[in-house]
Amino acid sequence: MTAEGQVSLPTPPSLESLLQEGPVALFLDFDGTLVELAPGPDQIEPIADLNAKLVQMAERLGGRCAIVSGRAIADIESHIGEISLAAAGSHGSDVRSADGRALGEAPTGLPAALEAELRSYASENAIDYEAKPHGGALHYRSNPQAGEAAQAFAQDLAARHGWSAQSGKCVVELVAGKADKGTAVRALMQEEPFAGARPIFIGDDLTDEKGFAACNEAGGAGILVGTREPTCAQYQLPNVASVHQWLGL
Protein backbone atom coordinates (compact mmCIF):
# COMPACT_ATOMS: atom_id res chain seq x y z
CA MET A 1 0.00 0.00 0.00
CA THR A 2 1.08 3.60 -0.55
CA ALA A 3 1.26 6.21 2.18
CA GLU A 4 -2.23 7.33 1.18
CA GLY A 5 -3.57 3.78 1.52
CA GLN A 6 -3.86 3.31 -2.22
CA VAL A 7 -2.91 0.07 -3.93
CA SER A 8 0.65 -0.01 -5.29
CA LEU A 9 0.90 -1.87 -8.60
CA PRO A 10 4.07 -3.42 -10.04
CA THR A 11 6.24 -1.54 -12.51
CA PRO A 12 5.59 -2.80 -16.05
CA PRO A 13 8.15 -5.00 -17.77
CA SER A 14 10.40 -3.03 -20.08
CA LEU A 15 9.04 -2.27 -23.53
CA GLU A 16 11.97 -4.21 -25.02
CA SER A 17 11.04 -7.34 -23.08
CA LEU A 18 7.40 -7.05 -24.15
CA LEU A 19 8.45 -6.71 -27.79
CA GLN A 20 10.51 -9.87 -27.49
CA GLU A 21 7.28 -11.74 -26.70
CA GLY A 22 5.47 -10.46 -29.80
CA PRO A 23 4.01 -7.34 -31.43
CA VAL A 24 2.83 -4.61 -29.06
CA ALA A 25 0.33 -1.81 -29.73
CA LEU A 26 0.68 1.29 -27.55
CA PHE A 27 -2.20 3.64 -26.75
CA LEU A 28 -1.03 6.82 -25.03
CA ASP A 29 -3.08 9.36 -23.14
CA PHE A 30 -1.82 12.93 -23.56
CA ASP A 31 -2.33 15.19 -20.51
CA GLY A 32 -0.77 13.73 -17.37
CA THR A 33 0.90 10.97 -19.40
CA LEU A 34 2.90 12.46 -22.28
CA VAL A 35 2.79 16.03 -20.93
CA GLU A 36 2.63 17.38 -17.40
CA LEU A 37 -0.71 18.67 -16.17
CA ALA A 38 -1.06 22.45 -16.07
CA PRO A 39 -3.45 24.91 -14.38
CA GLY A 40 -5.26 25.36 -17.70
CA PRO A 41 -5.47 23.28 -20.91
CA ASP A 42 -3.55 25.89 -22.92
CA GLN A 43 -0.69 26.12 -20.41
CA ILE A 44 0.92 22.73 -21.01
CA GLU A 45 4.60 22.57 -21.98
CA PRO A 46 5.37 19.45 -24.06
CA ILE A 47 8.98 18.33 -24.16
CA ALA A 48 11.03 19.41 -27.17
CA ASP A 49 10.42 17.36 -30.33
CA LEU A 50 7.71 15.27 -28.68
CA ASN A 51 5.93 14.73 -31.99
CA ALA A 52 9.08 13.57 -33.79
CA LYS A 53 9.95 11.24 -30.92
CA LEU A 54 6.48 9.68 -31.03
CA VAL A 55 6.79 9.16 -34.78
CA GLN A 56 10.14 7.41 -34.27
CA MET A 57 8.61 5.18 -31.63
CA ALA A 58 5.65 4.35 -33.88
CA GLU A 59 8.09 3.34 -36.63
CA ARG A 60 9.90 1.13 -34.13
CA LEU A 61 6.56 -0.55 -33.33
CA GLY A 62 5.61 -1.05 -36.96
CA GLY A 63 3.10 1.80 -36.78
CA ARG A 64 1.26 0.33 -33.78
CA CYS A 65 1.17 3.49 -31.64
CA ALA A 66 -1.71 5.92 -31.11
CA ILE A 67 -2.47 8.99 -29.02
CA VAL A 68 -5.84 8.57 -27.27
CA SER A 69 -6.91 11.79 -25.57
CA GLY A 70 -9.84 13.75 -24.27
CA ARG A 71 -8.49 16.68 -26.23
CA ALA A 72 -9.51 17.25 -29.82
CA ILE A 73 -6.87 16.11 -32.31
CA ALA A 74 -6.57 19.68 -33.64
CA ASP A 75 -5.97 20.90 -30.08
CA ILE A 76 -3.11 18.43 -29.59
CA GLU A 77 -1.64 19.47 -32.94
CA SER A 78 -1.70 23.12 -31.87
CA HIS A 79 0.81 22.17 -29.16
CA ILE A 80 3.05 19.58 -30.84
CA GLY A 81 2.46 19.95 -34.59
CA GLU A 82 0.64 17.82 -37.13
CA ILE A 83 0.18 14.24 -35.92
CA SER A 84 1.24 11.57 -38.39
CA LEU A 85 0.47 8.53 -36.24
CA ALA A 86 -2.91 7.07 -35.39
CA ALA A 87 -4.94 9.20 -32.99
CA ALA A 88 -8.24 9.28 -31.15
CA GLY A 89 -9.36 12.66 -29.87
CA SER A 90 -12.45 13.98 -28.14
CA HIS A 91 -12.72 10.93 -25.82
CA GLY A 92 -12.97 8.47 -28.68
CA SER A 93 -15.46 10.53 -30.69
CA ASP A 94 -12.86 11.22 -33.40
CA VAL A 95 -10.69 8.23 -34.36
CA ARG A 96 -8.21 8.38 -37.23
CA SER A 97 -5.68 6.03 -38.75
CA ALA A 98 -2.09 7.15 -39.27
CA ASP A 99 -2.93 8.27 -42.83
CA GLY A 100 -5.72 10.51 -41.53
CA ARG A 101 -8.59 8.23 -42.53
CA ALA A 102 -11.58 8.65 -40.20
CA LEU A 103 -12.85 5.56 -38.38
CA GLY A 104 -16.52 6.02 -37.54
CA GLU A 105 -18.56 9.20 -37.41
CA ALA A 106 -17.21 12.68 -36.77
CA PRO A 107 -17.73 14.19 -33.28
CA THR A 108 -20.94 16.08 -32.56
CA GLY A 109 -20.75 19.60 -31.17
CA LEU A 110 -22.86 20.92 -28.32
CA PRO A 111 -26.26 22.43 -29.10
CA ALA A 112 -26.21 26.19 -28.57
CA ALA A 113 -28.52 26.00 -25.54
CA LEU A 114 -26.25 23.57 -23.68
CA GLU A 115 -23.15 25.59 -24.49
CA ALA A 116 -24.83 28.75 -23.21
CA GLU A 117 -25.70 27.03 -19.91
CA LEU A 118 -22.15 25.75 -19.45
CA ARG A 119 -20.59 29.11 -20.28
CA SER A 120 -22.94 30.89 -17.91
CA TYR A 121 -22.26 28.43 -15.09
CA ALA A 122 -18.50 28.73 -15.56
CA SER A 123 -18.66 32.52 -15.48
CA GLU A 124 -20.83 32.62 -12.37
CA ASN A 125 -18.70 30.11 -10.44
CA ALA A 126 -15.15 31.28 -11.23
CA ILE A 127 -14.21 28.22 -13.27
CA ASP A 128 -13.21 27.82 -16.93
CA TYR A 129 -15.28 26.68 -19.89
CA GLU A 130 -13.63 24.98 -22.88
CA ALA A 131 -15.46 24.43 -26.16
CA LYS A 132 -14.62 21.10 -27.81
CA PRO A 133 -15.61 19.50 -31.12
CA HIS A 134 -17.35 16.73 -29.21
CA GLY A 135 -19.01 18.86 -26.53
CA GLY A 136 -17.84 21.19 -23.78
CA ALA A 137 -15.84 21.04 -20.55
CA LEU A 138 -15.85 22.75 -17.17
CA HIS A 139 -12.32 23.03 -15.71
CA TYR A 140 -11.90 23.77 -12.02
CA ARG A 141 -8.19 23.15 -11.41
CA SER A 142 -7.78 26.83 -10.50
CA ASN A 143 -10.80 26.63 -8.15
CA PRO A 144 -10.89 23.07 -6.75
CA GLN A 145 -13.55 23.79 -4.15
CA ALA A 146 -16.01 24.38 -6.99
CA GLY A 147 -15.50 20.84 -8.30
CA GLU A 148 -18.26 18.95 -6.51
CA ALA A 149 -20.94 21.44 -7.52
CA ALA A 150 -19.64 21.59 -11.10
CA GLN A 151 -19.78 17.80 -11.36
CA ALA A 152 -23.36 17.74 -10.08
CA PHE A 153 -24.40 20.55 -12.43
CA ALA A 154 -22.91 18.84 -15.48
CA GLN A 155 -24.42 15.46 -14.60
CA ASP A 156 -27.86 17.03 -14.24
CA LEU A 157 -27.52 19.08 -17.43
CA ALA A 158 -26.41 16.03 -19.41
CA ALA A 159 -29.28 13.91 -18.09
CA ARG A 160 -31.87 16.58 -18.95
CA HIS A 161 -30.65 16.84 -22.55
CA GLY A 162 -29.80 13.21 -23.33
CA TRP A 163 -26.03 13.69 -23.30
CA SER A 164 -23.34 12.06 -21.15
CA ALA A 165 -21.01 13.60 -18.56
CA GLN A 166 -17.44 12.30 -18.20
CA SER A 167 -15.34 13.18 -15.17
CA GLY A 168 -11.58 13.62 -15.12
CA LYS A 169 -8.93 15.36 -13.03
CA CYS A 170 -10.46 18.75 -12.15
CA VAL A 171 -12.72 18.60 -15.21
CA VAL A 172 -16.15 17.38 -16.23
CA GLU A 173 -17.16 17.17 -19.88
CA LEU A 174 -20.43 16.82 -21.75
CA VAL A 175 -20.19 14.39 -24.66
CA ALA A 176 -22.66 12.87 -27.09
CA GLY A 177 -23.22 9.17 -27.68
CA LYS A 178 -21.38 6.21 -26.24
CA ALA A 179 -17.83 6.96 -27.44
CA ASP A 180 -15.00 6.67 -24.92
CA LYS A 181 -11.33 5.70 -24.89
CA GLY A 182 -12.26 2.03 -24.80
CA THR A 183 -14.29 2.25 -28.00
CA ALA A 184 -11.34 4.07 -29.61
CA VAL A 185 -8.97 1.23 -28.67
CA ARG A 186 -11.39 -1.37 -30.03
CA ALA A 187 -11.81 0.53 -33.31
CA LEU A 188 -8.07 0.81 -33.86
CA MET A 189 -7.43 -2.81 -32.89
CA GLN A 190 -9.64 -3.87 -35.80
CA GLU A 191 -7.35 -2.04 -38.22
CA GLU A 192 -3.91 -2.81 -39.59
CA PRO A 193 -1.23 -2.62 -38.28
CA PHE A 194 -2.81 -2.88 -34.80
CA ALA A 195 -4.81 -6.07 -35.35
CA GLY A 196 -3.35 -9.09 -33.57
CA ALA A 197 -0.91 -7.14 -31.39
CA ARG A 198 -0.90 -7.04 -27.58
CA PRO A 199 -2.49 -3.70 -26.62
CA ILE A 200 -1.03 -1.57 -23.82
CA PHE A 201 -2.79 1.60 -22.66
CA ILE A 202 -0.92 4.21 -20.58
CA GLY A 203 -2.93 6.90 -18.80
CA ASP A 204 -3.44 8.77 -15.58
CA ASP A 205 -7.09 9.80 -15.48
CA LEU A 206 -10.43 8.22 -14.66
CA THR A 207 -11.44 8.31 -18.34
CA ASP A 208 -8.44 6.09 -19.14
CA GLU A 209 -10.02 3.21 -17.23
CA LYS A 210 -12.14 2.41 -20.29
CA GLY A 211 -8.93 2.15 -22.29
CA PHE A 212 -7.36 -0.13 -19.68
CA ALA A 213 -10.44 -2.36 -19.74
CA ALA A 214 -10.43 -2.64 -23.54
CA CYS A 215 -6.77 -3.67 -23.50
CA ASN A 216 -7.37 -6.20 -20.73
CA GLU A 217 -10.17 -7.76 -22.80
CA ALA A 218 -7.78 -8.17 -25.75
CA GLY A 219 -5.06 -9.85 -23.71
CA GLY A 220 -3.10 -6.68 -23.03
CA ALA A 221 -2.75 -4.41 -20.02
CA GLY A 222 -3.18 -0.93 -18.63
CA ILE A 223 -0.40 1.13 -17.07
CA LEU A 224 -1.62 3.71 -14.54
CA VAL A 225 0.41 6.92 -14.24
CA GLY A 226 0.39 8.08 -10.63
CA THR A 227 -1.98 6.64 -8.03
CA ARG A 228 -5.71 6.09 -7.99
CA GLU A 229 -8.02 3.49 -6.50
CA PRO A 230 -9.85 1.55 -7.77
CA THR A 231 -8.24 0.86 -11.15
CA CYS A 232 -8.25 -2.03 -13.61
CA ALA A 233 -4.66 -1.26 -14.66
CA GLN A 234 -2.16 -4.06 -14.05
CA TYR A 235 0.95 -1.87 -13.80
CA GLN A 236 1.96 1.55 -12.56
CA LEU A 237 4.45 4.30 -13.34
CA PRO A 238 4.84 7.21 -10.92
CA ASN A 239 4.86 10.23 -13.21
CA VAL A 240 5.25 11.69 -16.71
CA ALA A 241 9.05 11.52 -16.57
CA SER A 242 8.91 7.79 -15.87
CA VAL A 243 6.55 7.33 -18.83
CA HIS A 244 9.07 9.06 -21.09
CA GLN A 245 11.82 6.83 -19.73
CA TRP A 246 9.76 3.66 -20.19
CA LEU A 247 8.91 4.66 -23.77
CA GLY A 248 12.50 5.65 -24.52
CA LEU A 249 11.57 9.18 -25.59
Q: What are phi and psi of 52, to 5 degrees?
A: -60, -40
Task: Find, among 104, 54, 59, the residue nearest to 77 by Cα.
Answer: 54
Rounded distance between C-alpha atoms, residue 114 and residue 131, angstroms: 11
**Which residues does 102 contact at the CB level (< 8 Å), separation at least 6?**
94, 95, 96
- Backbone φ and ψ for 152, nearest 5 degrees, come out as -65, -40
3-state secondary structure 53-118: HHHHHHHHCCCCEEEECCCCHHHHHHHHCCCCCEEEEHHHCEEECCCCCEECCCCCCCCHHHHHHH
What distance in Å separates the CA atoms of residue 233 and residue 216, rounded to the nearest whole number? Answer: 8
Helix (H) or strand (E) holding 240: helix 240-247
* Contact between residue 67 and residue 28 where contact means Cβ atoms under 8 Å apart: yes
Residues 6 or more apart in contact with residue 48 via CB below 8 angstroms: none
| Integer Cα distance of 39 and 105 in angstroms | 32
29 is catalytic: yes
Question: What is the C-alpha separation between 223 and 31, in angstroms, rounded?
Answer: 15
The set of catalytic residues is 29
